[in-house]
Each structure stands twice: as structure tokens, then as C-alpha cells.
Amino acid sequence: MKPQAVGKTPRRISAAEAAALVQSGHWVDYGVSLGQPDAFDAALAARIGELQQVKVRSCLSLRPRAVVEADPEGRHVFWLSWHFSGWDRRQHDAGLCHYIPVNLGEVPDYYRRFNAPVDVAVLKCRPADENGFFNFGGTHLWHRAIVECARVVVVEEDPALPAAEGEAAGVHRSEVDYVIAGAGLDLPELKNPPANSVEHTIGRRIAAEIENGACLQIGIGELPNAVCAELLASGVGELGVHTEMLTDGIADLYRAGRVTGAHKTVQPGKIVYSFALGSRKLYETIDGNPDFCAMAVERTNMPHIIMRNSRVVSINNTTQVDLQGQAASESDGCRHISGTGGQLQFVRGAYASHGGKAFICMASTYERPGIRRSRIVAELTPGNIVTTPRSDMMYVVTEYGMVNLKGKSVPERAQALISIAHPDFREALEREARERRLIPRHWSGARLG
């Protein structure tokens, strides 16, 4: 672990000088989403051909990374990701990006407990404030753990980042070795397209289950944001928020006065999150706003902390559910799509919360060229990764209904899930379930035992 030097002043250098710190075989940390460097990335790309076996950890890359694009055959740099963005996914398809399996709430432990090597860490932060802190700019997650474990810490300054209020929401100059100027690029935004009719239907089903005073966790994607839109149209209020990702949907509820946090146990009155990702309006909403509290991911995602709030409602997407209730949310066979993220930890934390509910939602079908397929299947696609096991699944929601799998036997689960599949696929699913003996030959639908 890097010792803190009291009173130390970091040295200002150029991006090229910072990139020269990287040697062959080094582990380099780029941080997450808005916290990933741009000027340093371009400078390292300019000399990547001189280096061998450089491993770069990253997460949710929001714009193309120059160091990867400068090495199209992957001879010099290995790009490793805790969770894929669309760009990361495309690099994985090309063999240039590799996933690190993890529950995101455990990532700080990987650095501190298991001594994940960090030779050079480069994090984009706001310029230092009057107290000498470089604010993480709304991307907290495991950046503190990276700083603590890195042999060399470089801050790339970006005044465009929002000033996020929170717990240890930055790095002090005494922990920083070098400071470089940023590239002056606009902050990347993650804009969700307007919800379609299927997403609105699913959103209404879930919103109807949310009570005044509930504490929300909203995952990434159009469906969870559709729930926020439906909550805006409802009369539900006095909501709390304890989430990993802060989304535009949550910010909309806040600006409408629906979020007070009055009934929370963990940081009452505060909107707790670990990273913000969305539109410029979202970044403006959190900028210097004391109603929001950025926290390290081990403080947002661990189930034993989540459950301290009552009536936690966890809302997450999936891409495929089998008839036993296994949710595969991160891959399409052996093709990795996204990541485990915080889904499983929030499912478990919500269930353990007094009065809590965990929702896994999906459109009943998806389209491939010339064919429509069911997301509810008798067996998962070969190679698919189970994100939420059948033993943890609670509510499953499609546009055709909602079922609670807790306490249900395999035959009951199969029939319940068939009932919310697209009608065009129900007969085939029933036949496959009986062929696989998921539903007994003489089963009529009554409870066993």
C-alpha cells in the first residue's frame, strides 16, 4: 500500500511524461466511466509499440480508448474490464478486451485484501479544492482503493466534472504523485432513448408495487428508467434512494420532489450512490448538491448494508430467464455483453430488507434478423452466465405479467414463467418443460405437497 506523505505536493508534468512512467509488464489502472483519463490515454497510445505485456484495468469505457486502438492486434496491451460498455463489448468481439468476473461491491476488497497489483493509477478528477482534495467527480466506486494500493498515482484534471458531495469523495494531494492537464473534452453522456410501449407496460407493473417511503435501487438501461417515468406519473412519494448507479430517472424523481429519504436508515435524507452516469442535466443536478452522497461501492452494494434500509426495491434488467428461474443478464453464450455488476448483491440485499422487493425485468421477446425469439426459455443458451441464481430470484416481470418465484417448486416456477412469456411461445415452452420433466406428466398446476 502506498504510504501517505503529509504535506507532499504533487509534481505537475505533461501527459507524455506521465505515460513514460509505464514500463513493460506494468499494471495500469484507468478507473471507471467519467473517471477514465483522456490525455494520458492518448500519450500512452503514442508509445505503446515500445512496450510489452501492459495490463490496463478499466470499467464502462464511454469513448474509444486510444491505447487499445493503437494496438489492433493486441500485441502490447491487454484491456481488462470489470463491466463492459458498448465499446468494451465491441473490443471483446475483436479479441481485444477481457472481462474480470466480479460482484462490483467486492472490487475494493480485490485491491486491499488480495493485493491486486497497481503500478500506475491514472484517474480523472476535478482540480484540487482549497483543502487540497481532487474530487472524483461523481465516480466513487473503488477509486479510493486504487489510490491506496497504487505505487504511483497520477491525477488528470478536468474542471468539467461535477463536484460530488459524499464520503471521502476524492483524493488528497498528499496521496498524489503527479498531476497532468486534461484533454478538454466534453463529458461523455449516456442517453436513454424514450421508452417504448412494452417498457412502459413493464414499468407500470413494477411502479404499482412501490409504496410511499420505499428505498430504490435502479439499474442501467431503458427498463429501469421506464419505472422511474411511471413513478413520476403516480402519486408515490417520500422515496429513498440507495443505489450503485445514479441515473437520469432518479434525478427526475428528485427534481419532482418525490425523493426525500426521510424513511432511510443508511444516510437518512440523502440520495446515496456510487457513480453517476447519464446526461449533462444529471451532472448539473449533483454538482455541489448536498442532497446527494457519493459513497464507495462497498458501502452501497454489500447486502448487509443494503438491508439496513426498510422496503428496499431493487429493479434490474436481464436478457434471458430459464424455466427454473435462473437469470442470465451479462452474456449471450460465450459472448460477454456487460457484467454481473451489482445485480446479485442488490437482489439479496432487497430480499433481506424488511418489506423489500427485488424485480428482474425484461421484454418477453427480442428480434434477430428475420426471427423473433423468447427471452423465457426451457434451457439457457449454452455458455450463458447465470447472474442471479434460481434460489435468489423473487419477482420476474414482462409485459405479460409478474410472478414471484420465492417458495415455488420447479413445476410451479415453470408454469408461472410460461404464463408471462409471449403467447406465441407458451405452448412450445409447456411441451419442452414436460419433456425435460420440469413439469410432471400428471401435474395440473396445484401445489405439490
Q: For 22-58, what is each residue's pLDDT tens digit?
A: 999 999 999 999 999 999 999 999 999 999 999 999 9
C-alpha cell at 441: 406428466
Mean pLDDT, residues 402-413: 97
Choose, from 199, 244, 298, 412, the residue flagged as catalytic: 244
C-alpha cell at 341: 455488476
Q: For 264-318, what is each residue's pLDDT tens digit?
A: 999 999 999 999 999 999 999 999 999 999 999 999 999 999 999 999 999 999 9
Mean pLDDT, residues 325-341: 96
**pLDDT value at residue 5:** 55
Quote the CA–CA distance of 272 and 286 in Å, as a whole number.
Answer: 11
Domain segments of the chain as ranges: 11-181, 197-435
- Class assignment of domain 11-181? alpha beta
The residue written with cell numbers 498515482 in the block is 153
Residue 244 catalytic?
A: yes
Q: Which comes out higher in pLDDT, residue 9 or 121?
A: 121
**pLDDT value at residue 116:** 94
CATH topology of domain 197-435: Glutaconate Coenzyme A-transferase (3.40.1080)
**pLDDT value at residue 168:** 81
**C-alpha 23 chain-centroid distance:** 31
Look over the chain and give the mean of its residue pLDDT values, rounded to a whole number.
95
Q: List Cβ neighbours of 242 (8 Å cut-off, separation of 6 or more).
A: 215, 216, 217, 264, 266, 267, 272, 300, 306, 309, 312
Tell how strand 335-336 and strand 331-332 pair up: antiparallel
**pLDDT value at residue 191:** 82
The pLDDT-based confidence of 446 (bands split at 50, 70, 90) is very low
**pLDDT value at residue 31:** 96
Quote the CA–CA distance of 102 and 83 in Å, as a whole number.
Answer: 9
C-alpha cell at 173: 494531494
Quote the CA–CA distance of 416 and 166 in Å, as a whole number.
Answer: 43
For residue 134, the cross-strand partners are 171
Q: Which comes out higher in pLDDT, residue 161 or 235?
A: 161
Q: Say what the alpha-carbon torsion angle 424, 427, 429, 435 is, to the nearest 10 degrees.
A: -160
Mean pLDDT, residues 116-134: 97
**pLDDT value at residue 335:** 95
Mean pLDDT, residues 423-445: 91
The pLDDT-based confidence of 447 (bands split at 50, 70, 90) is very low
**pLDDT value at residue 445:** 64
CA separation (Å) from 121 to 48, 61, 260, 395? 17, 16, 37, 40
The pLDDT-based confidence of 133 (bands split at 50, 70, 90) is very high
Quote the CA–CA distance of 89 and 83 in Å, as a whole number.
Answer: 9
C-alpha cell at 316: 434490474
Burial degree of 186 (CB within 10 A; 0-12, 13-18, 19+): exposed
Quote the CA–CA distance of 424 and 34 in Å, as a whole number.
Answer: 43
Q: For 204-231, what is each residue's pLDDT tens digit?
A: 999 999 999 999 999 887 888 888 999 9
